[in-house]
Structure 1
Amino acid sequence: MAVPAAASVHDADRYRPPAVTGLVDLLDRHVRERPHARALVVTGDRVHLSYRALAALADDVAARLGGTGLHRGDAVGLVCANNAEFVVALLGAARAGLVVAPIDPALPESQLSARLEALGAQAVLLGPSAAGAPPVARLPVPTWPLRVDASRAGTAAAVLDTGAAVVRQVRGAAAELSSHDALVLFTAGTTDRAKMVPLTHANVAASVRNICATYELGPDDATVAVMPFFHGHGLFAALLASLASGGCVLLPERGRFSARTFWNDVRAASATWFTAVPTIYEILLDRSEIEYPGPQVPPLKFVRSCSAPLNTATQRALERTLGAPLLSAYGMTESTHQATSEPLSQRGPLKHGSVGRPTGVDLRVVDQDGSTCPVGTEGEVWVHGPTVARGYLGNPAETARSFADRWFRTGDLGSLDKDGYLSLTGRIKNLINRGGEKISPEHVEDILAGCPGVAEAAVFAVPDATYGQRVGAAVVVREGEGLGSEQILQYCRDRLAAYEVPDRLEVVAALPHTAKGALDRRAVEARYAQ
């Protein structure tokens, strides 16, 4: 099926990204000009919350928080699934001048507590967890439950219980925050490795404007919240960019992505686009023969992939299935999410295998000496611009290693082509050193994923007395495929250098993933590399 050009919501020469300054005024223009337009679709009844109703809920929460004794610039945690309570808590706390730290509600008590204590949060705003998830355990700071009651008529009320009094004491990394800060996001990882990234309102505004401009989002657009809001992907690309541009976001009933209800959600929202990780696209593709309703779904202008490498074969298969371009993007917490993206079809060519061009940032690929690499030469990707964070909270050593002259050293390997498109080749810290040969596990995974019948692959270093490290792989085979390890290895031998072919390959039932859907490399190594 031919992929049509993505339609723009505005004429190219007239499109202007939203003029927001941060989280505080994100809704203001739409409350003035389009108060009754739908901002959110929530609950199993698919209740529409207007911009006026959402702003009123946020103001109610802000007023309640203003009476708790908290000061502007104080940090509060936000532990909640993708539901109305998250959005109201986020915007309400921002309007009260507080710095919000969203945290994955599925983390065990020890990790939740450790993150709150390292940050020095004064309190936690607690919303409902995703359906089926265990309740959040007792936390070391005052916990204030929030509930949003929405009626089918579109009216709503917020109930915030601040009965647990706060004993204000600035401690931990929060001492480095100010009223200019909007968010603190935790990088993916275990508690002892997760870093705290402070993002100002100016960072947030620049990110939202860049995302809106890249995809020309406007009031006629709608999406379904696939990615969790406690990570930058779901927070900036799906939620904040949609609200800033006057669009609509449907929040799934269970508070998280469900393949079973996804296409019904797309229909209910009249979605024009959505963004996800490759793992979710693989799930949708595997189920498309029996579940994708084709003409019954509103036509999608485009879909977007970010947060993990997207296999080119998957990209092409999704485009054929959905009849819309699948645009690859690249971002990180430290750049307030998006740094590059493939453009809309009418704005430039799509280059499968790349993650597109810089979007509102400067980007360099440098060698080990910090010199800019020639076109087509691999090096480390550095990013600079208004979305780049100032460093890490409470971690001056890591800040010094990763930030230099306001450039963020991503640790990602890649190259730029003559048109400025970035192709990623791996992570520096993931490289496997097999007897002096440096091997990118991401490259080997891409080849494995292209083998017919392979659903997913993970490649990792196996300790070896002779070579130092050898190449190991764990592969998931699609259901019903009679594919064995030797067939997969033969496919690799035909496409990889001899030293890149896995020395050990195991067919497994499933691979572990992080909360945002990316491959959990630490868990893979712990399980299979020994």
Structure 2
Amino acid sequence: MRSRSTRRARRSGCTGAPPPGLALDDALILSTAGTMDQARLVPLTHGNVAAAVRVLCTTYELGPRDATVAVMPFFHTHGLVAALLATLAGGGCVLLPAGGRFSADTFWDDMRAVGATWFTAVPAIHEILLDRSAGEHPAPLAPPLRFARSSSAPLNTATQRALERTLGVPLLSAYGMTEAAHQASSEPLPPPGTSKHGSVGRPTGTRIQVVDPSGQACPPGVQGEVWVRGPSVARGYLADPAATVRGFGEGWLRTGDLGHLDGDGALFLTGRIRNLITRAGDQVSPEYVEDVLCGCPAVAEAAVFGVPDERHGHRVGAAVVLREGEDAEPAEIARYCLGRLAPFEVPERIQVVPALPRTAKGALDRQAVQLRFAR
């Protein structure tokens, strides 16, 4: 007897056999971003997706009066689950840009056309909107926004505050991953909670713990690996049992992210374990150094990487994109970092580049960064 999954695949015209490990309740198979290692297939059940959508509707109080512009692609959970399904589940309206993707040239026209009350995007899009806000933000004819949202990559605190001033509404940082059907935590709408800039908020429909290398829970303020569990978390990866064993266990998703919880349960992320750069025995978080670099007034974007070095193992390198109209030398940017970073964290080599490589979702493509700039 053929499985229901196989019959669905054949009816849809797919001639190949479905991946092994599918279950009858699977609704979606999505790929992880693969920004630093091999992308993997994640099966999400109807229950996973429904739980994720309910959490998003509840967290942001989405209802029939809400509308958004879908600037994130639908082949990842950010665009599909957060922008599209959650808005429609709340009874709201979603406008698809004419070109099928984000365009800074048409974004505010689209937002006004649909009467957008919120939007969600990666930090790279927020940076673009901020850089172009002086000439393009339509105040006082802006759409009736309640809030904006950022996810899928770390959001620089300076950008967050500046864009909040421009938009006149909160810009909420959220944390998620494909394996959890997108959102695991988020800053809250004000009221009832007060956002903590620099954090990705508190768990939303999930349990989050931070653990040390032995798997023991870390006390507040102590860095460790972030683990997530809840009804939206997938059961594992398709056709990759070794990765499933490494990433899932006893109901927990081992995210590979580094961070800490504060005394109120707010989560602060500091980077990815596999991204750490080892320099003469010290470990450097690229994400943390990038956050400091982006605080430099002339810098719009930054990518930090390890440069192979026979003596130290690695040296710290950085590629930066300057803000429009700004002119800064690498030595000037390095001086900005002094006192803000430990000496071993300060990039020894800084390159000013016109653009950084990004994935289709808009996240920094660290594999491409390493290949392009670390030679």
Normalising by structure 1, report the TM-score: 0.69
The yes-or-no answer on 1:362 pairing with 2:227 is no
The yes-or-no answer on 1:290 pairing with 2:135 is yes
The yes-or-no answer on 1:73 pairing with 2:11 is no
Matches within 5 A, 1:173-322: 173=19, 175-189=20-34, 193-322=38-167
Q: 1:116-154, CA deviations, whole angstroms, 9 ceiling, x for partnerless residues?
A: xxxxx6587xxxxxxxxxxxxxxxxx4xxxxxxxxxxxx
Report the AA paired with residue 254 of structure 1: G
Judge conservation of contact 1:74–1:177 (CA < 8 Å) in 2.
no
Matches within 5 A, 1:89-488: 98=8, 122=10, 142=13, 171=17, 173=19, 175-189=20-34, 193-488=38-333
Judge conservation of contact 2:43–2:234 (CA < 8 Å) in 1.
yes
Distance in 1, matches of 2:71 and 2:132, equals 16
Q: How many Å apart are 1:189 and its aligned residue?
A: 2.4
Judge conservation of contact 2:35–2:359 (CA < 8 Å) in 1.
no
Q: 1:478-501, CA deviations, whole angstroms, 9 ceiling, x for partnerless residues?
A: 122121101000001131111100
Cα distance change, pair 293–382 in 1 and its aligned pair in 2 (3 A): same
Unaligned runs of 5+ in 2: none
Q: 1:303-324, CA deviations, whole angstroms, 9 ceiling, x for partnerless residues?
A: 0000000000000010000000
The residue number in structure 2 matching 1:115 is: none
Normalising by structure 2, report the TM-score: 0.97
Judge conservation of contact 2:35–2:364 (CA < 8 Å) in 1.
no
Distance in 2, matches of 1:188 and 1:123, equals 29
Report the AA paired with residue 139 of structure 2: G
Judge conservation of contact 2:35–2:366 (CA < 8 Å) in 1.
no
Report the AA paired with residue 73 of structure 1: S
Report the AA paired with residue 419 of structure 1: D
Distance in 2, matches of 1:241 and 1:224, equals 13
Judge conservation of contact 2:131–2:324 (CA < 8 Å) in 1.
no
Secondary structure at the aligned position of 1:347 is classed as coil
Cα distance change, pair 331–353 in 1 and its aligned pair in 2 (3 A): same
Cα RMSD for the two superposed structures:
1.6
Distance in 1, matches of 2:95 and 2:201, equals 27
Distance in 2, matches of 1:488 and 1:234, equals 35
Secondary structure at the aligned position of 1:73 is classed as helix
Q: How many Å apart are 1:192 and its aligned residue?
A: 8.5
Q: 1:348-380, CA deviations, whole angstroms, 9 ceiling, x for partnerless residues?
A: 011000000000001000000000000000000
Judge conservation of contact 1:198–1:391 (CA < 8 Å) in 2.
yes
Report the AA paired with residue 149 of structure 2: R
Distance in 2, matches of 1:416 and 1:384, equals 16
Unaligned runs of 5+ in 1: 1-69, 76-97, 99-120, 125-141, 143-165
Distance in 2, matches of 1:468 and 1:190, equals 22
Distance in 2, matches of 1:481 and 1:462, equals 27
Aligned residues: 374
Report the AA paired with residue 453 of structure 1: A
Distance in 1, matches of 2:237 and 2:130, equals 38
Secondary structure at the aligned position of 1:481 is classed as coil
Cα distance change, pair 244–179 in 1 and its aligned pair in 2 (3 A): same
Distance in 2, matches of 1:123 and 1:517, equals 33
The residue number in structure 2 matching 1:515 is: 360
Larger radius of gyration: 1
Secondary structure at the aligned position of 1:486 is classed as helix
Distance in 2, matches of 1:473 and 1:198, equals 36
Distance in 1, matches of 2:25 and 2:327, equals 57
Report the AA paired with residue 4 of structure 2: R
Q: Identity percentage over the alignment?
A: 66
Cα distance change, pair 287–518 in 1 and its aligned pair in 2 (3 A): same
